[in-house]
Amino acid sequence: MELQLKYSKVQQTGGTGAVCPATPAGKLKLGEVKIATAGAAFVAGTTDLDAATVTDTYTNKTDLVATADFSLSSFGQEDYMYSANFKALLDDIEEDLNVVNNDKILGNPTLAIGSSSKKKIKNSAFSVMRDGVISLIASTETDFTATTHDLAKSTGAVYNVYLDATNTIKILKGTATAGGTGAVCPATPSGGMKIGEVKIVVNADAIFNATTDDLDSAHITDTYTNKLDVFEAIA
């Protein structure tokens, strides 16, 4: 596999409005480097990238799947054989395909009980791609929310662990059920990206106090699953 660089031949004053050239056919884009010069020419292979006359910006970014690649905008109602339900289905598929191709979790978050605090959920470092831009999510430990995430005795619930639109890890509690039987993970909020699920079941001895209880307490059974959102099956 050969690493190649391609630059835009259209130069812009100060780099303003400069755009990345299209990736050549059959190649895979790894990122972008923007170079702007002031006071001297940039001579490739000669000028150091940390020279005082050079401003260099590095972005880990791959190509996006354009919305037009999965667009139904050119079709009319007559193309769906007069079925509003079928049109809605196709619209949903179009939206899901665009989202899945441009927003992805890269790597395993490996959710687990916290190390520094057993009251928290721990994740390992992993990367995420949003709109083609690749960002590193650091290993961290996330608190439950007091009261909101509590559980009554002899109940259980599934908690959705997700990244919000700013790539901050959040926890969303699902509906609690008796003994946790049949408990399901709540839907990921709009703009979020699910990274996993944590199911917590408490016995009759005590409640789950999200503020004070260690997740390895004797009355708690906790299960961690690294799981992303998937397409819903068509019934």
pLDDT at 74: 58
Q: Which one-letter DSSP state was computed for residue 87?
A: H
Q: How far is CA 78 from the centre of its chain?
A: 37
Query: Does the pLDDT at position 17 exceed 70?
Result: yes
Q: What are phi and psi of 75, to 5 degrees?
A: -100, 150
Mean pLDDT of the chain, nearest integer: 83
Contacts by 178-184, CB closer than 8 A, 24 or more apart: 178/154, 179/154, 179/155, 180/155, 180/156, 180/221, 181/156, 183/156, 183/157, 183/158, 184/158
CA 103 – CA 138 distance, rounded (Å): 18
Banded model confidence at residue 222, pLDDT cuts 50, 70, 90: very high
Q: How far apart are CA 64 and CA 104, in angstroms?
A: 11
φ, ψ dihedrals at 173, nearest 5°: -85, 135
Whether pLDDT at 101 is above 80: no
Q: Is the pLDDT of residue 193 over 80?
A: yes
Q: Of 75-79, 89-93, 104-108, 197-201, which range is least confident?
A: 75-79
Quick one: pLDDT at residue 211? 93
Answer for the pair 137, 163: CB distance below 8 angstroms, yes or no: yes
Which H or E element spans position 123?
strand 121-123
Summarize pLDDT for 26-73 with one digit per residue, the tens: 777 888 899 999 989 999 989 999 999 999 988 888 777 655 555 555
- The model's pLDDT over 128-155, given as tens digits with 9 standing for 90+, comes to 888 778 889 999 999 999 999 999 999 9
Q: What pLDDT shows up at residue 121? A: 97
Looking at residue 125, its pLDDT comes to 96
Query: What is the b/e burial string over 71-81, where b = at least 16 CB atoms within 10 angstroms of the residue's CB?
Result: eeeeeeeeebe
∠ CA 160-95-108, rounded to 5°: 40
The one-letter code for the residue type at 151 is: L
In contact, 162 and 173? CB cutoff 8 Å:
no
Summary count for the chain: helices (H), strands (E): 1, 13
pTM for the structure as a whole: 0.69
Quick check: 127 pLDDT over 80?
A: yes
* 2 pLDDT higher than 90: no
> For residue 117, what are its two tokens?
């605090």
Alpha helices in 141-193 (DSSP H): none
What is d(CA 111, CA 185) in angstroms, rounded to the nearest whole number? 15
